[in-house]
Structures are given as C-alpha cells and as structure tokens.
Structure 1
C-alpha cells in the first residue's frame, strides 16, 4: 500500500462526498435528485472489488475505507429504497443498468490478468466504477436544476477521481515498477464524465446563480 498526499486527499474527498450525500438524504428527509440506480451500481463496485476483505490485510487504513464504502453504500440504498421511498424520483431515474453491467462483465473476462474469481471481479469493478455515475448524471440532466448538497456530492466524486489521476501520475514518476494502464484508462474515462458537470458547477458558484444543467 503506497501512501502520498494525493492518494490521501482523494480518499478524504471521497469520504466528504459520502457525507454530503447522507446529510442531504437524512437532514432533508428525502432523496430527491439522487439516483438509486447509481447507488446500486456503486455498491456492486465495492462488493466485487473487496471480495478479499476477510482474508487479505494490506493496512488498517485500507480495511477501514473498504468497510466504510460498503456500509455507507448499503445504507444509502436502504434510505432511498425503503425509508424515503416516497420521495424517490423513479420517473426520471430510468437508465437500464444492465446496459452498463453486461459490457463490463464482458470486458472483465477479456482484460483480466488471470481467471480467478477475485481478479475477474476486481477487473469488472474497475470498468463498472467508470460508468456507475451515468444514471445520476442523466437523472440530473432530465430534471435540470440541482440542489446544493446534490451538487456538492457529485462535485466531490469528480474531484476524488481527478485527484486519483494526479496520484497515478505521481506514482508513475516516483515508482519504477508502477504500471496499471487499465486503472488509468477507466479512471480517466470516469473523470471525463464529470467535466461538463464541473464547468456548470463552477460557473454557478462564480456567478452566484442556481446550478442548472442544460
């Protein structure tokens, strides 16, 4: 496990995004503007990526993050699908997740480094995380105006991925044996999905106007 400022900053921003998401749902007592489909996809990402949580120990830091991601993701799904189900916008949250899951399964079998269950699932999780935010982005585009905490949540998710790109560049420059092209490509695709969102988020902040996606 390699630690550097960019990696730790990315993880902290990711945790901040989770805080914004849960704060929005619990304090407002609704899940308006939140895609259940994206949350389910993220949960699948964490489950398939962390199959080794019970038998591979890398560090306490890493284990704590795994537990946090798994538990908060499951709790978010519970809040949306059960506790605040009446406020869930299922009319606009319509992207068929199988259009994302099936290609990721196929790609995982093509690009996995070996055909063990954990390695295939890990590779699958890398591909799926790259596109898991799509239902959320499409939901926001279909509704237009974005609530403040929703915008902060998604901005932090995008920033977390951008910081990981800087982390990869730093590691490539400082570690002789560091080579992970699949992670780099999928992470870059995921970050690109946030570019338009970043633009309108920053624009609304600078102009002091409501955040609206065209």
Structure 2
C-alpha cells in the first residue's frame, strides 16, 4: 500500500467519523442527505461481499467492516432514531436516487471487466459511488447556508477521492500491470462533481467566512 492509498482511506474514514460526530453529539442530521447515505450503504454492501470469499489482510477486512457498519448505523439513525429523525430535512432532500441505482446497475450489466456475479456487483458499486454524492450536493445548494460539520464531512469525502486519483497515478507509473480502468474513470467523474463545492469552500476559507452555496 502506498501513501496516497493510505491517505485516501484515512480521509474517507475521517469523513464518516465527522458525520457520526455531528449526528451523535448534536442529535441532529440537519443538512445531511439520507438519500446519499442510503446510496453509500448500498455501495459498501455490494462491493464488500468478497468478505465471505477472499481475505487480503487484517487491515483490509477491518476497513470493510467499519465502512459497512458505519454506513448502516448512519442510515438507521436518520430513519429510526426518535430524536435524530425529527431533524431530517425531508422536504429538501427530494433527489430521486433510485434512478441512480437503476442506471448504475444497468451500466454494470453491460460495462464490466468480467461477467460474474461478484464482478458485476463490484462495477455497480464503483459507478454508484461516483454519483452517490449528488443528493448531498443538491441538498447543500438548496439549503444555501450549511453548518461547519456538514461542510467538513463533504470536504473530507472530496479529499478522499483526490488522494485516490494520486494513488492510481502512482500505481500506473510503478506497477507494470495496473488495471481496474473502471475505477479510475468513475473516480475522475466523482472528483469532478466536487469541483463546484471546492471552489466555494476555497472562497469561504480565503475570506474567513461561512460557506454559502448558490441555490
């Protein structure tokens, strides 16, 4: 594992921990898209079914279990926790995310590296992760003025993708048979979706002001 892959994993983990901190410390999920969290839960469950068939390392197994467990815990809190669920912005979080699930699944059926059950689910999870942030970004734009913990959550998610692009570049330059082109292309698409957010994040940081996204 190279430093870029490790940094990507850690920023991804930090983003989830920041979100859990917001939910459990403030007892609020205001500004958080349940649609995005449900998409991430589907991503992790679909991608990490190999937990039952393949063992790579203790680190790999632990990280997979953490991502699955945390994503399901977040969805549970937002849907079923009697205090947290009251703060959910249901009227603003109206993105029809099931179209993303259907579209990504159909794409995975036709564009994959090998037509097996596990490989198709892996491709599906990669495609879905690339667009899973869309409901959250739409919610932020509709909300306009968002709290700091939500902003940091999205920032670390974007940083995670940026580190993974560096990881792929490093592996392409150092590994003779680096593959997984699907992950690389989807990762570039996902990172591009953060461009507008990072622009306004930089402006707010430069002006030492609270982040405000145009509606």
How far did 1:114 drift?
2.2
Cross-structure match for 1:20: 18
Cα offset, 1:151, TM superposition: 0.4
Contiguous gaps of at least 5 residues in structure 1:
none
1:56-205 to 2 correspondence within 5 Å? Answer: 56-83=54-81, 84-205=84-205
SS of 1:208's partner is coil
Match of 2:39 in 1: 41
- Deviation of 1:205 after TM superposition, in Å, equals 1.3
Separation in 2, partners of 1:137, 1:14: 17
Task: Output the aligned Cα RMSD.
Answer: 0.8
| SS of match in other structure, 2:52 | coil
- Alpha carbons 2:112, 2:182 under 8 Å: kept: no
- Aligned to 2:49, the other structure's residue is in SS state coil
What is the match of residue 32 of structure 1?
A: 30
Deviation at 1:180, TM superposition (A): 2.2
| Misfit runs of 4+, over 2 Å | none
Query: What's the offset of the Cα at 1:55?
Result: 2.0
Distance 1:179 1:124 in 2: 17
The answer to whether the Cα contact below 8 Å between 2:51 and 2:61 also exists between their aligned partners in 1 is yes
Distance 1:98 1:22 in 2: 24
- Cα deviations across residues 27-61 of structure 1 (Å, max 9, x unaligned)? 11110000000000000000100111122101111
Please give the alpha-carbon distance, in whole angstroms, between the structure 1 residues aligned to 2:206 and 2:24: 28
Across the two proteins, how many residue pairs are aligned to each other? Answer: 212
Over residues 153-207 of structure 1, what are the superposed CA-to-partner deviations in whole Å (9 max), with x where a residue is unaligned? 0000000000000000000000000022211110000000001111111211121
- Please report the TM-score for the alignment, with normalisation by the length of structure 1: 0.97
CA distance in 1, matches of 2:182, 2:112: 9
Equivalents in 2 of 1:82, 1:159: separation in Å?
Answer: 30
